[in-house]
Amino acid sequence: MARNLYILAGVLLLFAAVSFVMAMTSGRMQPALPANGTLWKTTALFLTVGGLIVALLGVMTAMFEQVDRRNEEQRMRRRGRDGSGTGDR
């Protein structure tokens, strides 16, 4: 799950970088494109914030998955030490 969020964050940040480049070069290099640089800057800002939020969610998801894995491993080790579940009683 975290890997998918990382990919989504990367794509959003890539689009943010493209929007930022468009804001810097919108009127000079390609006159047929919308010349409103403010729109491109706003889009870049929202995409950047969205990408950072999704990246934070990916980090938090990876951390919680790791905690769950370690908790399960610890439970299995405790079960093996106690001898429960083996049927030796």
The reported pTM is 0.73
- Shortest CA distance to 37 belongs to which of 26, 29, 28? 26
Distinct helix (H) and strand (E) counts, the chain: 2, 0
Report how far residue 68's alpha carbon sits from residue 71's, in angstroms, rounded to the nearest whole number: 5
User: What does the pLDDT look like over 27-51, one tens digit per residue?
Assistant: 666 666 666 678 888 999 999 999 9
Is residue 40 within 8 A of residue 26, CB to CB? The reply is: yes
pLDDT (0 to 100) of residue 32: 61
User: What does the pLDDT look like over 57-82, one tens digit per residue?
Assistant: 999 999 999 999 999 999 999 988 87
